[in-house]
Structure 1
Amino acid sequence: MTAVALESGYWSSLGEGVGAILLYAIIGLVLMLIGFFAIDLTTPGRLRALVSEGKPNAIIVTAAGIVSMALIVVLAIYSAGGKLSEGLIAALVYGLVGIVAQVISVRVLERVLGIDIGAALHSDVYTTEVLVVAAAHFALGLVVAFAIL
């Protein structure tokens, strides 16, 4: 009969890893919610209601914003190099800065390009200009994420 022996400290290390996953997940969720509400506050109409109503353009913009927030959080975690407290702080700070940069930049881009985001978000049918707005969210998320490194 062969016995399986675990290294000393295995369970402690495993518990720390699980704790880190949960803490990062909470920060990621909080940042995505803050990002959603920031987008909601700066766009005409209630974005949450538009998403609930199934407005395709509102869904596309919301999804792009959430993906971009996730990119920022992932790179903040990666840049922390395994140090939990520093990683959590970096994810939170970079995430908040990313939200502000993203919202301002996307609104400026919409104005410069003459995109009526309010009309697009309220439309019952897909409109092509929403791809520019979604791409701006995604691109700015990438820029902020890689600036973290």
Structure 2
Amino acid sequence: MTTTTLALTPGYWSNLGHGVGAILAYAALGLALILIGFQAIDSSTPGPLRKMIATGNPNAVIIAAAGVTSMALIVVVAIWASSGRLTEGLISTAVYGLVGIVAQVVAMRLLERALGLNIGNLLKAHHHELQSSIVAAAHLSIGLIVAVSII
């Protein structure tokens, strides 16, 4: 009868524990940044964005989804750029994420003025307006710009 022994490299459990801890830390930080980003978008737009999303206003949903996705792009690239250094990675992710939130809010207000959009009316509309696509694209574009600048 042959027996098989499971051989793990030294430090396996320690590395695994460190990896799980990193996942939990980055997930918590990423969620916090996404919530802060959503709050910043909500605070900088007329009307309660949460309520417009809850009632199914399509433009509010599209624009908010793009903002959240944009924030996630920034967080993902900041984590990737940390090269496995957890403490430095968490700090840089937090800083880059907050800078990205500010950049998004400022860019959206500038875009609104440049294009002559009334973002309040756009968000409150109960039917899809094509202008929401340009606002969503701008959110994603700013997120990509901030994310790539991290690299």
Selected match of 1:54 from 56, 59, 64: 56
The runs of 4+ residues in structure 1 deviating greater than 2 Å are none
Selected match of 1:37 from 29, 39, 47: 39
CA-CA distance at 1:136 after TM superposition:
0.6
In structure 2, distance between residues paired with 1:103 and 1:145: 16
Cα RMSD of the aligned pairs, angstroms, is 0.6
Residue 133 of structure 1 corresponds to which residue in structure 2? 135
Identity of aligned residues (%): 57
Selected match of 1:94 from 96, 106, 110: 96
CA-CA distance at 1:51 after TM superposition:
0.6
In structure 1, distance between residues paired with 2:93 and 2:56: 31
CA-CA distance at 1:106 after TM superposition:
1.0
Helix, strand or coil: the match of 1:90? helix
In structure 2, distance between residues paired with 1:26 and 1:85: 14
Selected match of 1:73 from 72, 75, 88: 75
Structure 1 length normalisation: TM-score? 0.98
Residue 18 of structure 1 corresponds to which residue in structure 2? 20
Unmatched tracts of structure 2, length 5 or more: none
Return the index of the structure with the highest Cα Rg.
2
CA-CA distance at 1:58 after TM superposition:
0.5
Structure 1 position 111 matched with structure 2 position 137: no
Helix, strand or coil: the match of 2:129? coil
Unmatched tracts of structure 1, length 5 or more: none
Helix, strand or coil: the match of 1:119? helix
Q: How many residues align?
A: 149
Structure 2 length normalisation: TM-score? 0.97
